[in-house]
Amino acid sequence: MPTLTLERPKQKQRLTVVENYDVAADAKKRISLRSAKTKYFHVKALSNGCFLLEPRVLVPPQAISARSLKMLDKSVANLKRGLASDDLAAMRQLTNEFDAKDWRW
């Protein structure tokens, strides 16, 4: 199945360091990035202990084919009408039967 990927723009100049700072990982081994331009990153862990973060852009709706959007709209309409598989119908019934007011801790 073909996937859509956005090509990285060609670098005309050499890369320069824009910001240089040290961070410490917290107890869950997380770090915070300052002034991040994007929300999502693809991370590559290198054998020398370095991590390479590449910004990722979510696919715009225009990139999804008309056929796929039509199929998605049809599936949502069927789900709203109750025309779903047995597993989905059973899950909906369970969630409708559950009443949060009767739940006791």
Predicted TM-score (pTM) of this structure? 0.41
Helices (H), the chain: 66-81, 86-97
Q: What is the pLDDT of residue 65?
A: 87
Query: Residue range 74-96: average pLDDT?
Result: 73
Greater model confidence, 6 or 101: 6
SS3 54: strand
Per-residue model confidence as pLDDT tens digits over 53-63: 888 877 776 78
Q: What is the pLDDT of residue 105?
A: 43
Q: What is the pLDDT of residue 52?
A: 86
* Separation of alpha carbons 52 and 74, rounded Å: 40
What is the tally of helices (H) and strands (E) in the chain? 2, 2
* Separation of alpha carbons 66 and 59, rounded Å: 14
Residue 79, Cα to own-chain centre: how many angstroms? Answer: 23
